[in-house]
Each structure stands twice: as structure tokens, then as C-alpha cells.
Structure 1
């Protein structure tokens, strides 16, 4: 049995067939298999590893992405295409691949990693912790009627994504710089949205500047206008986008739109009857997970005035003792023995620290989840350093 990296057209006979068996209707038709080559450009920069022995037994890929962690945009490894041959499952091949894949991505300077799990408990063993899943808000366009009478400053642009892609990419790059948890694909992957050209692009503009954007499609007359992630700088941008959707009152029965976990669609309009749902199920509707791969991800991040010594245990990549000091407003990481005077101590797993860094758990929740031991005094310091925040991963890989 050997682990090796594959690329280019070799994916056609190794990783692509395994992924297709795992994530698509099976067996594949000849016509579907014939489509594989057109996906090669969108995978060219991925790092793809396979386990092979008389054929490919398992495969896993990492997409070199970027993610915003508390205001800092850092390289992030987006893990995707994890699949095993049905006769080779539950033999440890995926574990072997993930260890080597994350080793290599970390060595290449990716201090963060994220994925969408087929089973969260499996990836929890690798130190991943859950992130919020975007909500789907569904409502009737008739309930947006009041917006048709509103005189809103600004304007909307409407075009196919194939034409408007440069504006979309520029706006999502700005979201990446400004939104905690936001992630972006590399150019070679992201242009697939442009090349497929299967969406309309709607933009809100104020004084010529894009302040909101959403892609969407309509499935049929009297059907559904299905919008992807609604991205808006402010309530005005959101209102401009919804005002455009209101013009479909005599065309579609309902509108659905993806929104971040901290968005409140029930407060958008007074008489808006809206169903807001985040459905999590195995194996096809999972919430994302993420983790730190290197302590370098934390150095220099904005932090509150806390000071705590943390021992990280049981982890391949983060094990060690660190003094965390946020007294200057930027997080400093020192040797755990460099503390002057008494400093509260906490013991964390990689998932426990990642949960605090991403802002998804309070320090008091960490022990309840089995992710560490955090005494009350250490919890107070960690709470000062890592304020609770709601990450918004955005990219679906």
C-alpha cells in the first residue's frame, strides 16, 4: 500500500471515479464519465492524495483557499473529495490520507482548515469543531409588496453571472477582508461559477459602489426563485435586493434565499411570513467544521485584555504549552514558562481551542463538550481574549 500525490489527467482514473461513486447517483452513465475532463481546470491547483494497492483505494484533496479569522485573512486548506473504494472502507485509509494531507498543507503555510463532513464525529477525532450552517429563508414575493412603494437610494444591476463575474469576485473579495469566518476559493476554482453561467447576478449599488450581491435561478413559472447567499453591507443594500425580488410577485410562488446564521429575516418587514431553517442531517446536509493547524494563526489577532496559560493535548499539530496574552490588544503567544506572576491555567484539545478562536463556544461550554478542562478563572481570561463571534464560512466545497 502506498500514498502518493496525483494531478492533472491522472485524477480521471483515480480520485474522480471514487468521488463520483461516493457523492453521485451510481453506476455512472458513459455520458457522465465523459464529462470528467472538463472539471480538470477547476481542480488543477488542488493537492490530491490517493492510497493505492492494485488500484485506488481512497482519495482526498485539499483546496488552497483563504479564510478570515477575526479580521486576519489567512491561507486555509479546504478538504474535499474524501472517498474510499467500497471494498476498502473502514480500514484506516482515510485516516492515513488526512494525516498526510494536513501535514503537507500545514508545511506549505496553511494554518487553518475547514470541510463539510459526511459524519461530524469522524472529523472531530481530527480536532475539527462545528461552525454554524447558513439558514434558508423562504417566503412569498407578495409579502415583499411594501418595498415596491419604497423610494430607496441606490440602484440594482442585473445580468448573467458569466458577464458580471468580475464584479461578483471583487465584492466577495471585500467580504473576505471584512467578515469573520468568510472563505474564498482560489481563482482557478472560483471561475467555474462564471464558466457554467447557470445563475443570474443581482447587485445593489450606491453611488456606483457595489454594496450587496446575490446569485439566483428560477426553476419554473409559478415555481421558486432560489437565491444563493445574500451578501449585503447594510440594511439598505439588503432592501434593494429584496425590492428587486418583489417584482416577481406574478411570476413565482415563493422565494428562498441563504442567509448567515446571525441574520434575522423575521425582522426584515412587518408582515413578512417567513420560514427560516437550518437543516443538518447525515450524510448529505452537514454543517461545516474547521480547526487550527498552526498556532501561527492566532499570533497578532485582535484580542481582549486576557492572560492565560494553555496546555494543548492529544493533537498531532498543536500539542504544547503556550502563554496567551491579549493585554496589548493583539494576541501574543509566548512559551508557557515565560509568565511573570500567577497566570490561570487551562487544558484544551485542538477542537477546544479552535472553538474559541472561531467564536462558536464560550469557555464554559468547552468542558461540557469534552474539549478540555477550563477552571473559572481561566474561563474568564479566555472569554476576554476570544469574544464570542458568529463565523460565516460562505464557500461550499
Structure 2
């Protein structure tokens, strides 16, 4: 058996074929196989590794070079996707082998973070990944938005197909990347697939000529559902402008659904809004994302609170070592060696998932200990809590 990186053309008969079996209805038609070629431009910059035996592809995995905001800093992130294996070669360690090599190579190229959507979270937990919040779906009737119809809101909305408005959409997501913790976006070569397919409407909110909100959506049928994707807004006015636009569909659709971040509260949007909010997590097929640090250097310079603690990172091929995390200046300083023990700061032992959970803001230090992701004494927990306050990350990109 060999592990190698495949070329773009080779994806047609290796990773694409395995991925179709793993994630689509099968057996696929000949016409479906021909459609694979159309995907090649949107995968050109991906790194795809396969395990082979003879001419048979046993497993495949890809990494997408992305960017992600972590506590205000935008860092290179490897989005792992297309992890699949031959049905006769499963549970033989091939995916483990691929992931180790894939993350080794992406880390060597400077990617300091990694994220993915797992087929089984406990499997990826062994690779140091920790769960992130899944965006919620809010569902409501356009009739309940009626009070907005008469509202005189400052600002305006724009409405066009995504193929026409893609440049504005991309620019706004770049802005969100810089402003929102956890936010990540695809590289340009992949993101343009949204423009080229041109299967969505684009709604934008503007204030003073500047875009302050954007959402893509589709309508499935008359009397059906207006299904909006991620509702991206910079302020409540932008959200109100877009909800006002949706209210005008009261005689066209029965229901509106929209994706929202985990910390959004649609029950407070309007007085008489009857809304159902759901985040369904199940396996397979409806997983919440996971993420991890790939390099300790990602921590250097992060905006943090004024904590100071020594950590021993254990059990990980990429992070293991002893470090002093010092946030007294408001920016995290990493100290190693003898200097890390000066002043006898509180100490904690953390796994890769444990430190990732704290940095991404998804677990309290006490929860890290309760989950078996480290040993965190009370004094160290207090310092880690000051360094990394709880904060809800919003991954956004679905890969």
C-alpha cells in the first residue's frame, strides 16, 4: 500500500469516486460520473491524498486552504473534507494514516488551525479536534413579520441573482472574516462555484451605501418555503431591513427558514414572532463542526484577557511541550524554558482538544477537566478563564 498526493485529473477516479459512494445515493449513473469533471476547477488548490493498493483506491482525504478568525486574528486554516474509504477497506487504519500525513503537510505549509465536519465526532476527538456550535435554523411564517411592513427603516436593500452580485457577497464575507470569531471562508477558486452555479438569490442591506447585511436564498415553490442560508449582519438594522423584505412574501410562501449563529436570539426579534429554532445534530449526515490548533504559534499575539498560567500540552504530535501563557499585556505571549516557571504561575495539563476548546471559547476550564481533556486545578482554571473568556465561534463555511 502507498500514500500519495493525486493530481487534479486523478481525482475523477480516486477521491471523487470514493466520496460519491460515501456521501451520495448510489450506484451513481454514468451521467453523474461525467459531472465530476465540472468540479475540478473548484478543487484545483486542494491537497488530496489517497491510500492505494495496486490500482485500487482504498481511502482518500482532502484539505482546503482556508482562513479563519480566532479571537480577532485571521489565521491560515486547513479545512479537512472528502474523508472516505472503500467499503472493503474500512476500519483498517487507512484514514488515520491519511489524516496524520495530510495535517503534517498542511502544518508544514503554515496552516495553524484545522476544522472539519465529522462522520463520527469521537473518531476525530482522538486527533485533537473539539466540537464547535452548529448554526441554528429559525423557521417562521412571513405573516408574523407584518409589523415591519409599515416601518420606515433607514437604509435600503438590494436584490439580484448571486451570479450578478457575487463580488459584493465575497467582499462582505471578507469583512465578516475580519470581524467575527470562528468565521472562516473558502479560497476564491472554490467560492466562485456559488457564482457559477447561480442557483440563489442574493439579498443585501445597505446603510450609507455600505453593505451591512447579506443572505442568499431560494424559494422551492409557490405556497412553499423561502429557504435562506446564513443570515450575515453587522447590526440589528441590517437584520430588520432583510426581515422586512421577507415579509413582502406573505402571499407567496407559507414558511421562511434562515440559518443563524448559535448566539442569535430570534425569539427577541419581534413581539408576535412565533418561531421554531433548531440545531439538529445526528450521525451520520447532520454533524456539528469540529476544530483544533495545529501549531502553538497560532496563540502568539492573540487578543486575550490578563491571565497568566503555565500549561503542559501532552499526547499530541503537533503541540506537545511546556509553555507559559502570559496575557498581562492584552496580547498572548508564549514563553518557554526556564523563564516559564518564573514566579511559580499556576499550572495545568491539557490535551490538544483541551487547549483548542479554551482558545475557541467553547468550554470552561472546569469542563475541560470534566471531559477528560486535561487536569486543571482551581487556581489554573481561574487564570485560563481570564485568558480565554467563553465566546461562541461561528464557522460559517460548510465543507
TM-score normalized with structure 2 length: 0.99
Offset from partner CA, 1:78-133 (integer Å, 9 cap, x none): 00000000000000000000000000000000000000000000000000000000
Offset from partner CA, 1:220-256 (integer Å, 9 cap, x none): 0000000000000000000000000000000000000
8 Å contact 1:3–1:51 — kept in the other structure? yes
Instruction: Tell me the residue number matched to 1:389.
Output: 391
Residues of 1 paired with 2:260 and 2:163: CA distance? 23
State the 1:337 CA deviation.
2.7
Instruction: Tell me the residue number matched to 1:26.
Output: 26
1:40 aligns with 2:40: yes
**CA RMSD between the two structures:** 0.5
Offset from partner CA, 1:311-359 (integer Å, 9 cap, x none): 0110011001101000011000011531321210100000000000000
Residues of 1 paired with 2:271 and 2:337: CA distance? 54
Residues of 1 paired with 2:66 and 2:73: CA distance? 14
Residues of 1 paired with 2:7 and 2:138: CA distance? 40
Offset from partner CA, 1:126-172 (integer Å, 9 cap, x none): 00000000000000000000000100000000000000000000000
8 Å contact 1:143–1:273 — kept in the other structure? yes
Alignment of 1:1-397 (within 5 A): 1-54=1-54, 55-338=56-339, 339-397=341-399
Residues of 2 paired with 1:168 and 1:229: CA distance? 12
8 Å contact 1:309–1:336 — kept in the other structure? no
Residues of 2 paired with 1:44 and 1:166: CA distance? 21
8 Å contact 1:65–1:184 — kept in the other structure? yes
Residues of 2 paired with 1:20 and 1:184: CA distance? 24
Q: Secondary structure at the match of 1:95?
A: helix
Runs of at least 5 residues in structure 1 that lack an aligned partner in the other structure = none
State the 1:306 CA deviation.
0.8
Residues of 2 paired with 1:245 and 1:263: CA distance? 18
Offset from partner CA, 1:250-281 (integer Å, 9 cap, x none): 00000000000000000000000000000000
Q: Secondary structure at the match of 2:329?
A: coil
Residues of 1 paired with 2:215 and 2:240: CA distance? 12
State the 1:303 CA deviation.
1.1
Runs of at least 5 residues in structure 2 that lack an aligned partner in the other structure = none
Residues of 1 paired with 2:302 and 2:147: CA distance? 43
